[in-house]
A and B are shown apart, each in its own frame.
Chain A
Amino acid sequence: MGKMGEGFRAYKAHMEAVRQRHYGMLMWGMAGALLAVTILSFGIGYYPLSPGQVISAFLSRFGYQGEILPQAVTVFWSIRLPRILSAVFIGASLAAAGATYQGMFRNPLVSPDILGVSSGAGLGAAFAILYGASNWGIQLAAFAGGVSAVAASYVISRKSTHSHTLSLVLTGSMIMSLCNAGITMIKYVADPNDVLQQITFWLMGSLTKTDMNAFGFSFLPMLAGLSVLLIFRWRINLLTLEEEEAKSLGINVRRYRLMFIGASTLLSAAAVCLGGLIGWVGLMIPHMARALVGADYGRLIPASAMLGAGYLVLMDDIARSLLSMELPIGVVTSILGAPFFIYLIVKRKER
């Protein structure tokens, strides 16, 4: 190749370094935007707070002695804080889990519920509500239901002779419909004046009832799941290849797949048991992230998590401020998500 070739390679390497820097800046930009949206959201709601009030309410816990309404302090610490924290973590969890599932199943139209986690959680919650469990009990049952649904899908799929991902999807949809049948059955027998309403409300997805205790329950599994996905994020790339090919690159495909399914399941189950069924975030956010930072999971996972968090915080702002009464956030994300999905399908057809 000679000198010319060396020069060309150096030029290409330089261009790549520039691109890397550009992506790095984009990441910081996203982090900054997320932070800004989060802070601004403290002021929005049925009881609006001015930026000054937000700051003094925040400082009141740290010995700030200035003039501040006690209601503002309560709204900030007991209502807005758990709610916004929940929105941040649910959004990040659903988006990161969605991105991982899409890669693992080699299908861009997959969402985190593919293995039945949401339906399982719904069934668990419906059961707990039917038996009059406490909020804490409902949350625990939802979490357990979600995790067991995925575990069942995984175990059954291992018995199949089909390709592993295909049988996972098949058993996943089977488990999903089984759980949905269970939910319908419970709704059918539930007392329509009290229990049925509660179940329906839970299934709609809402952040209205989140408090620090509920957030605390889901926080650990979310943290664990996000850590696993963030630490091993580059390896998810390899799972988007054919199994044989991925193996030939020197990795244990089954072990990674199990680990990523485990982490994504923790994330989606914890998200569902905290906020109910909030659809579309896990499907559409990874696509937006891909458009911004490319397909490489090294960047995609952090980008998805930040975008998902920001998106859900914004959606929750809309849910609590658009009308005089609160909208369920699941409804808001669906209304905005469905057209996006149609757009995706149409765009894919064109290609």
Chain B
Amino acid sequence: MLLELHQVCGGYGSGDVVKDVSCHADGGDVLCLVGPNGRGKTTLFRLILGSLSLSSGSIRIDGRDSKQLTPREMANLVAYIPQYHRPIFAYSVLDIVMMGRASHFSSFETPKAADREAAFAALEKVNALHLADWKYTALSGGQRQLILIARAICQSARVFVMDEPAANLDYANHQLLMEVVKELAGKGYCIVMSTHSPEHPFSVGSKALLMKEGRVAGFGSPRQIITPESLEEVYGMEMDVVTIGDRYGVKRTICLPVKAPGDIRSVYAAKEREQWEV
């Protein structure tokens, strides 16, 4: 198993934000973290990446306790792909990808021909070879995500942690990125990504982890976990999960917020009254 979390708790000074989370994912898996914002997804990522230490529980990466891994070993197993990325200086795409090689040569060295070779190979894997000599700052959000994925490949990590990869992308780029994520899983990488859209796991995920207030509200295959009941519990609104066939006959599952018919204002007014009376 590439990634195993066992009763993980952790947070910042004032107390645990992530409480008792257990889950696992292997090569070929796309594990989607679903839940409202500010509910421990980012904290869980920090715990996995080791930038925040666990207060209890354990994380095993490729069978090894993550506490025993040096930063360098960690980098060769787990890569982080940040959400929105705007470097201050106009690095070339190749420069950015090559930063993934930092854990592969000593501090005294600069990248060698072999590192450049690895960077080109990684760019090729995400079909972005043509961007190699572009300025990274001139790329679109979607292209930047691709380049960061190439950097993660170049890092030779096998677990990719992606923080809301779709958040800042337009619709088409979003779809494209999801295709790339699927392809990477097909090549044996283990992808852990957070998302605020509950239907994401159906299209790309092989596993879903539903989080509510830092705790696991469900972990398993998307079909088991993402149900109208669980979504209402987590998001506090009524939702339908429906499966339809698209024009090519492929089954697609989508989540729809629903509301009982009636004047929306009267619903709000009733809610407000309720609050006042309490």
Contact = CB atoms under 8 A, between A and B. Distances in A.
A and B physically associate = yes
A248 B99 contact: no
B68 interface: no
A252 B95 CA distance: 20
A217 interface: no
Interface string A227-254: 0000111110110111011011111100
A5 B123 CA distance: 12
Contact of A295 (B75, B89, B111): B89
A290 B87 CA distance: 14
Contacts of A15: 133
A13 B132 CA distance: 9
A65 interface: no
B229 interface: no
B6 to A, nearest CB: 22
Interface in A8-25: 8-9, 12-13, 15-16, 19
Contact of A237 (B50, B99, B107, B120): B99
A296 interface: yes
Given A12-B120, A245-B82, A251 B92 contact: no
Contact of A250 (B88, B103, B161): B103
Contact of A235 (B49, B107, B155): B107
Interface string B157-188: 00001000000000000000000000000000
Given A249-B75, A250-B74, A232 B90 contact: no
A295 B107 contact: no
Nearest to B136: A295
A244 B83 CA distance: 12
Contacts of A328: none
A242 B79 CA distance: 14
Between B89, B108, B133, B161, the greatest number of chain A beta carbons within 10 A of the residue's beta carbon is seen for: B89
A5 B107 contact: no
Contacts of B71: 247, 250-252
Contacts of A296: 91-92, 95
Contacts of A241: 87, 99
A49 B119 CA distance: 53
Contacts of B79: 248
Interface residues of B, number: 42
B88 A240 contact: yes
A244 B82 contact: yes
Contacts, number: 102
A244 B85 CA distance: 12
Contact of A294 (B74, B95, B100, B129): B95
Interface residues of A, number: 36
Q: Chain A interface mostly helix, strand, loop or mixed?
A: helix
Interface string B18-31: 00000000000000
Interface in B47-73: 49-51, 71-72
B121 interface: yes
24 contacts: A1-B124, A9-B120, A13-B117, A15-B133, A16-B116, A16-B120, A106-B88, A108-B88, A232-B108, A240-B88, A244-B82, A245-B82, A247-B51, A248-B51, A248-B75, A248-B80, A249-B75, A249-B103, A250-B76, A250-B103, A290-B90, A294-B92, A295-B91, A296-B95
Interface of B: 46, 49-51, 71-72, 74-76, 78-80, 82, 85, 87-92, 94-95, 99-100, 102-103, 107-111, 116-117, 120-121, 124, 129-130, 132-133, 155, 161
Given A16-B133, A295-B92, 17 more contacts: A8-B129, A9-B129, A16-B120, A235-B102, A241-B99, A242-B82, A244-B46, A244-B49, A244-B51, A245-B82, A247-B71, A249-B155, A250-B71, A252-B71, A294-B95, A295-B90, A296-B92
